[in-house]
A and B are shown apart, each in its own frame.
Chain A
Amino acid sequence: MTEESPATEPVPARVGAPVRVGGPPDGQGTLKDLSRSGRRAFSLPELDVPEAPVPADQARRDAPGLPEVAERDLVTHYTRLSQRNYGVDTGFYPLGSCSMKYNPKIAERVAQLPGFLLGHPHQPDHTLQGSLELLWRLERALCEITGMARATLQPPAGACGELTGLLIMRAHHEREGRQRRRVAIPDSSHGTNPASVRLAGYEALKIPSDARGLVDVSALEKLIDEDVAGLMLTNPNTLGMFEEEIERITEAVHRIGGLVYYDGANLNAILGRCRPGDMGFDIVHINTHKTFATPHGGGGPGAGPVGVTQRLVPFLPVPRIERDEDGSFRLDSEAPDSIGRMHGFLGNFGVLVRAYAYVFLHGRDGLKEVADRAVLNANYLAERVKEAFPLAHPDGRPMHEFVATARPLKEETGIRAMDVAKRVIDLGYHPSTVYFPLVVEEALMVEPTETETKESLDAFAEALLQAFREAYEDPDLLHEAPVTTPVRRLDEARAARHLTLRW
């Protein structure tokens, strides 16, 4: 290469060029519509033993109405459906609070190794030493990353991790002989927090945010008393900002004998910089898809490991993975104070395999760089769009994501955050999260993640600014959007009113 590469001129918006991101607009029926009596895809070997039917009084009378299709139909149908779906592999996906970063392909490959994928959960421990060691090493790594003593890998998703942590909190108080009824949560929290609080048998106590978008610590100190079992908190919080008075918060909760629960939704922002354990948290859950790039599968599977400090170790779920003195690994269910089992087996093992690959690929420096770049990207993007979409809390420093508002735009033009989001779809992107957190009007919650290039951020910023300009110049573009997708805005009220939940 003799030519110098161009220096500063931003590359045009190729990444976000208008394309039909959602597939062709012509609709298609369901698989049932392709069904023809007698057509089939399955093949099985001939039955090689005598036929033994089930007892007549237990037998099914009418065959289920499953589609009858050829394998070719299946392949075309679901390939086309996949083309009507937008994933991280399709393009930029700045869905705030969801951390839609690139999912490394190597993690997919190793998860398919037969020794992992085809292990039966009822095999005895001595035949599963590799998988048990993987889980043990992952547990140790997660404890180091979060500053906890031990962890369970069993919860199959973050919300289940929350319930696990709250049941541990409950077991702790019961052992101390305390009857406590409430758990404090900030008003900006994710909906799973109050829902988990109720499932754990507690009532939610709402803690207000202050003008900075942080926990109102004075209010917290006044509101909590010896009826409060603990506090659930994300840090960075749901507005994407670090709780600067975190030590005062955790001390206040400890003073009344409560425990502090770290919701790991935003752990990806602080990897290698600080640890929940060092801030005074007692219980931590991790969302592996957010922090360690396990793919989200269109809604799941996830994994929600939970770490605890030393005094809470007795309450962790069973079975646990222990290493014996001879270096062998075993599952241990002998733990009389354990809250019990949170999943039928060991949790979402296949997801944990991917998380292991991610953690050890990156290592200590790589994980820190994940946080550095995620925070850099979010701050850069916030800077590029804040003239049009001001930050909800302009004096704060965003971490890995920022919450902006379309309120000024709405006041001047009537264009709402949802209209902006739909227009952004026509400009080639998955939009940001909108209307969350609930405490910010017309919220646009943007999380670019660390795996996006500067060019990609510039192009997305241009798309947001273009939508902003169009709100004044040609608002119908926003009202009508999206027009490039296979379906346009859908009537959600109709879906709820005329329930059609099956063919």
Chain B
Amino acid sequence: MKFAPHTDDDVDQMLEAIGLSSVDQLFDRIPDTVRLDRALELPEGVSEMEIQADMEALAARNRSTDDLVCFAGAGAYDHYVPAVVWPLAGRSEFYTSYTPYQPELSQGVLQALFEYQSMICELTGLEVSNASLYDGATALAEAVNLARSAGSRGRVLVSAAVDPRYVDTLRTYGRGAGYQPEVFDVVDGRGGEPEVTDDVACVIVQHPNAYGLLEPARELFGAAHAGGARAIQVFDPLSLGVLAPPGDLRADIAVAEGQVLGNHVNLGGPYLGVIATRLDDVRRLPGRIVGETLDVDGRVGYVLTLQAREQHIRREKATSNICTNQTLMAIAATVYLGWLGPQGLEELGRQCASKAAYAAERLSEVPGVEPLFGDAPFFKEFPVRLPRPADEVRDALIERGYLAGVPLPDADGHALLVAVTERRSREEIDGLAMTLKEVLA
């Protein structure tokens, strides 16, 4: 299957116009010594029907949240994706366009991103958002770079209850940026006492945290501020209908995995890196930012703005190297948040919290199963201690149609993190508890 439209006549005419006699001559500046003197060792091209069959066969070898009742979370959640989201975000005028360098031809993407930024500000209670980063983990790395760029402070303190994949990502990015995250302990899965000395740039807390537990965020952020550091919160956008937003908790920078905003779990990507901060830090923000302005006739329009922060203008002095971001996911998030509205966001949070509480109660009734951290409050996800290794139990439940959760290294591998979204019915939760009981019996 090929998409180049040239007929043999086209090729001949075009070569003639250029003054060449063969296509090979177009490549005559490539030295003989580096030319590939054989065909690529790849299969012959195939038809559309054949590639579809090949890929359907691959897809059929996967289990997925389509055929497993999903209680897995830990950074990727099986929330409902409303029918309206992708027919709009997936309109090809959006998805086949490039970064909006020509604003007159890109008002659709630019305005949608302006609305996205607005909604993120409304959600978080912070003053500015950018137009997206790659995902939650890399958004945290960018937030740390932002905090460290604000002065001479360089140390990075991170709670032991922040998602370990995020901390690993910081370790990688820190190799170049010149820091390594320092993990402070938590007590019974939350809290802790960061020692915020005058060389600490930022304190990172996830709330709800990597165990799903609610943190004493105000106290932790207060400790950060008392030591003169920035407070960074990793948050769950869908918790903010019921939980106090980062701005109220006095976080200076808030980052999130935006997958939950209308994006499918998609084996981990493409997701959406959300970042919001205070206006004082707007010139330190990474990535694209859309601003409102006027055209020569006085009409309202939108452009990429504050581009002097960015790599294509500032080169090595840019706030980040990011160029391509996750715009399409941000557009999906915008449609999704428009669908939810304030009541929908609150109702969704209420349902997640209530169903998770119900699930925790039912699972605790299973002999040998107990909460990992007593009665610590949580939002939509909670850890339980199992009488057997969690990965074995998880695999046994997959055989019975349940993706029961994500095994944790805690409790010698006997801990399972269980997430409950609005999609899970009482019947499914009861089914999980009953099946777990059978598996453990």
Contact = CB atoms under 8 A, between A and B. Distances in A.
B1 to A, nearest CB: 4
B128 A501 contact: yes
B431 interface: no
Contacts of B438: none
B45 A365 contact: yes
B311 A159 contact: yes
Interface in A252-291: 270-275, 278-279, 287, 289
Nearest to A296: B98
Interface residues of B, number: 210
Contact of A375 (B26, B35, B165): B26
Contacts of B350: 47, 51, 53
A71 B339 contact: yes
Contact of B355 (A49, A85, A287, A372): A49
Interface string A340-353: 11111111111101
Interface stretch (A306-314, A404-412, A465-473, A489-497): A489-497
B373 interface: no
Given A192-B323, A298-B109, A452-B5, A98 B270 contact: no
B41 interface: yes
A145 interface: yes
A450 interface: yes
B104 A127 contact: no
Nearest to B313: A191
A194 interface: yes
A2 interface: no
Q: Of B18, B137, B271, B316, which is in contact with the most chain A CB atoms at under 10 Å from its CB?
A: B316
A341 B169 contact: yes
Interface stretch (B153-161, B220-228, B243-251): B243-251
A380 to B, nearest CB: 4
Interface in B300-342: 300-303, 305-306, 308, 310-318, 320-329, 331, 334-335, 337-342
Of the candidates B65, B104, B294, the one having the most CB atoms from chain A within 10 angstroms of its own CB is B104
Given A301-B324, A346-B269, A501-B305, A42 B82 contact: yes
B105 A86 contact: yes
A376 B11 contact: yes
A298 B99 contact: yes
Contact of B101 (A50, A203, A433): A433
Contacts of A417: none
A38 to B, nearest CB: 9
Contacts of B19: 383
Contacts of B80: 44
Contacts of B324: 157-159, 287, 289, 296, 299-302
B282 A499 contact: yes
A242 B338 contact: no
A58 B376 CA distance: 13
B51 A357 contact: yes
B306 to A, nearest CB: 6
Interface string B90-107: 111111111111111111
A292 to B, nearest CB: 12
A127 B62 contact: yes
Contacts of A102: 3
B66 interface: yes
A360 B54 contact: yes
Contact of A363 (B45, B241, B306, B345): B45
A454 interface: yes
A211 interface: no
B158 to A, nearest CB: 15
Interface string A424-447: 010000110100100000000000
A196 B173 CA distance: 11
A130 B63 CA distance: 9
B381 to A, nearest CB: 12
A42 B345 CA distance: 9
Nearest to B104: A485
A278 B26 contact: no
Contact of A81 (B92, B112, B377): B112
Interface in A139-177: 141, 144-145, 156-160, 162-163, 166-167, 170-171
A367 B17 contact: no
Given A44-B348, A100-B98, A85 B107 contact: yes
A14 interface: no
A131 interface: yes
Given A74-B338, A344-B165, A397 B94 contact: no
Given A122-B406, A302-B324, A490-B104, A344 B166 contact: yes
Nearest to B23: A372
B206 interface: no
A360 B328 contact: no
A262 B391 CA distance: 41
Interface string B36-62: 100111111110100110111111111
Contact of A247 (B31, B84, B128, B308): B31
B39 A272 contact: yes
Given A40-B343, A482-B104, A380 B18 contact: yes
Nearest to A35: B341
Given A84-B111, A128-B267, A343 B138 contact: yes
B40 A272 contact: yes
A323 interface: no
Question: Which of B76, B109, B271, B321 has the most A CB atoms < 10 Å from its CB?
Answer: B321
A349 B264 contact: no
Contact of B102 (A82, A144, A430): A430
Interface string A81-114: 1111111111001010010111110101110011
B152 interface: no
Contacts of B137: 341, 343-344
Interface in A191-230: 191-192, 194-204
B188 to A, nearest CB: 16
Given A167-B176, A349-B268, A59 B64 contact: no
B398 interface: yes
B58 A52 contact: no
Given A157-B134, A195-B311, A199-B177, A340 B171 contact: yes
A492 B313 CA distance: 14
A180 interface: no
A299 B109 contact: yes
A299 to B, nearest CB: 3
Interface in A39-69: 39-42, 44-45, 47-55, 58-61, 63-69
A487 B257 contact: no
A123 B63 contact: yes
Nearest to A352: B269
Given A87-B97, A167-B175, A499-B282, A244 B102 contact: no
Residue among B34, B63, B315 facing the most chain A CB atoms (10 A cut-off): B34
Contact of B5 (A53, A345, A451): A451
Contact of B244 (A51, A58, A271): A58
Contact of A115 (B4, B20, B27, B66): B66
A414 interface: no
Contacts of B294: 490-491, 494
Contacts of B290: 501
B197 interface: no
B231 interface: no
A63 B346 contact: yes
Given A42-B344, A133-B61, A300-B134, 19 more contacts: A44-B347, A60-B243, A65-B122, A65-B342, A66-B342, A81-B112, A119-B64, A121-B267, A156-B135, A159-B323, A192-B312, A197-B316, A201-B175, A242-B30, A298-B106, A298-B108, A363-B45, A486-B104, A500-B293
20 contacts: A21-B105, A42-B340, A42-B348, A54-B379, A61-B248, A69-B341, A82-B91, A85-B109, A87-B94, A116-B55, A123-B68, A131-B62, A241-B29, A273-B30, A301-B326, A340-B169, A430-B105, A491-B294, A495-B293, A502-B118
Closest 6 CB pairs of A and B: A345-B268, A115-B59, A85-B108, A297-B328, A363-B45, A299-B327
